Amino acid sequence: MTTVTSSRDLPHPAREEIRLEAVLHALSDPMRLQIVRELATDGGELTCSHFDLPVTKSTTTHHFRVLRESGVIRQVYRGTAKMNGLRRDDLDDLFPGLLGTLLGAAARQAGRLGGA
Amino acid sequence: MTTVTSSRDLPHPAREEIRLEAVLHALSDPMRLQIVRELATDGGELTCSHFDLPVTKSTTTHHFRVLRESGVIRQVYRGTAKMNGLRRDDLDDLFPGLLGTLLGAAARQAGRLGGA
DNA sequence: CCCGTACTACGAGGTTTATCGTAGGAGCAG
DNA sequence: CTGCTCCTACGATAAACCTCGTAGTACGGG
């Protein structure tokens, strides 16, 4: 049972290699924070093309790579599509509560800025 | 009772102007994260010169300014010294639990990397 | 008034970053 | 095989960032 999901493989940092500074830097970009927020509310995996960001496709690819290389998301090919998912398990293990608090803070700010 | 602490005043963002992205960006630099960690463990106010960072004085000034302009710390002159303190009240109000979780994550990583 | 201490302002250098456009590879439907 | 869709790689550009050194300001002590 070799469970081949795809042929192309993408480099991810191991759990112990994830650095807090890199995670914070990754999330300090509005575009990337938005991506992570959508991934969190969905809960599962989303394709790159699902996101409708106000930047070109090239730039979107760049942001996804920053998120992956910092250890925030996991990316895997499925056919021609590339699925993206939060590394919730790893992040919660390394930094308990961080992801949740961060998402809460982002939601709070979004409500404050965009809300009535 | 005019409680004049100093003549020079430094520009701080108001509480509602503090942006999560700016806070995360400020804390994504190892030097600044270190500063914030020391300020947190101390609890009170510390002078700039108290910190012994592996960079020049100019660079240290720069980092303190980034922290102030992002709303993470409050700076005030007291004589020739400049006192630095965390804006715990404002941050806790805007982003409940964020500062604590962030400091916890930083401590955890420091223990993991530097510890036995 | 002069000097020392504490911090800043400004400019420069080198790296990183965000963004784009074009060209191209990998998989799937005919 | 042909085409289509999804995504990537590369190069370019302009902005931002970290770092430094030098010169300078503000305050307090003698």
Interfacial residues of B (vs A; Cβ cutoff 8 Å): 16, 19-22, 24-25, 27-30, 33, 94-98, 101-102, 104-106, 108-109, 112
Supply the range of the domain harboring residue A80: 15-102
User: If phi over 0 gives left and psi between -120 and 50 gives alpha, with beta otherwise, what is residue A3?
Assistant: left
Q: Per-residue DSSP letters for chain B?
A: ------S-------GGG--HHHHHHHHTSHHHHHHHHHHHHH-S-EEGGG---SS-HHHHHHHHHHHHHTTSEEEEEETTEEEEEE-HHHHHHHSTTHHHHHHHHHHHHHHHHH--
Structure token pair of residue B44: 């009170």
For residue A101, give the nearest of B16, B21, B101 by CB distance.
B101
Q: Among A24, A21, A11, A16, which residue's Cα sits nearest to residue A76?
A: A11
Residue A115 in domain: no
Check pLDDT > 50 for residue B2. no
Is B115 within a domain? no
The pLDDT of residue A8 is 77
Whether residue A2 lies inside any domain: the answer is no
User: What is the pLDDT, as a whole number, of residue A2?
Assistant: 45
* pLDDT, position A112: 93
Tens digit of pLDDT at every position of chain A (116 positions): 444 555 678 999 999 999 999 999 999 999 999 999 999 999 889 999 999 999 999 999 999 999 999 999 999 999 999 999 999 999 999 999 999 999 999 999 999 988 65
In a domain, B7, yes or no: no
Q: Is A64 exposed, middle or buried (0-12, 13-18, 19+ CB in 10 A)?
A: buried
- Residue A73 in any domain: the answer is yes
pLDDT at B3 over 90: no
CATH number at residue B70: 1.10.10.10
Token pair for residue A34? 């938005």
Tokens of B103: 């400091």
Residue A113 belongs to some domain of the structure = no
Q: What is the pLDDT of residues B77-111, one digit of tens each?
A: 999 999 999 999 999 999 999 999 999 999 999 99
User: Would you call A9 exposed, middle or buried from its count of C-beta atoms within 10 A (0-12, 13-18, 19+)?
Assistant: exposed
Q: pTM surpassing 0.95?
A: no
Look at residue B5 and tell me whether its pLDDT is greater than 70: no
The answer to whether position A3 is within a domain reads: no
CA B38 to chain centre: 9
Q: What is the pLDDT of residues B40-51, one digit of tens each?
A: 999 889 999 999
Band (B116; pLDDT cuts 50, 70, 90): low
User: For residue B92, what pLDDT is reported?
Assistant: 98
pLDDT-based confidence at residue B9 (cuts at 50, 70, 90): confident
Task: Provide the domain count of chain A.
Answer: 1
How does the average pLDDT of chain B come out, rounded? 93
Flag whether A45 is in a domain: yes
Cβ contacts of B25 on chain A, cutoff 8 Å = 24-25, 28
Q: Separation of CA B20 and C1' C23 in angstroms?
A: 38
